[in-house]
Amino acid sequence: MLTDQIRVEHVLLNLFQNASDAILEAGRQHGKITVATGSRVNEAGISVACVTVRDDGAGVSADVAERAFERFFTSKARGIGMGLPISRALVEAQGGRVWIEPAEGQGIVHFTLPFAS
């Protein structure tokens, strides 16, 4: 399976926008967004690319992380709650997985996509 570059770009742009919003909503004038990539074998034994987007905003509680991919759920003052559900649909349509790691003082979102076979 080959990933669709446009879909991956859409997911990354959404995650960057969310990270930027989190930094601003935390009251920081300057913030840091970090992207890390790697690879591993997932639970099904498939080789996948791993991408992590991390920001130094206020962080994400376990409750918010659990609900973040629900349509129309948002923790933002001006959000509509569709960015993460759309991102999840785009990742899953390519055989991947996306999730948020709860953390104080930082937002951490991971997604995986299978390598071409």
Q: What is the pLDDT along the chain (117 residues), one digit of tens a residue?
A: 456 889 999 999 999 999 999 999 999 888 999 999 999 998 889 999 999 999 999 999 999 999 999 999 988 878 888 999 999 999 999 999 999 999 999 999 999 999 976
Whole-model pTM: value is: 0.91
Burial 72-103 (b: 16+ CB within 10 A, else e): ebbbeeeeebebbeebbebbeebebbbebeee
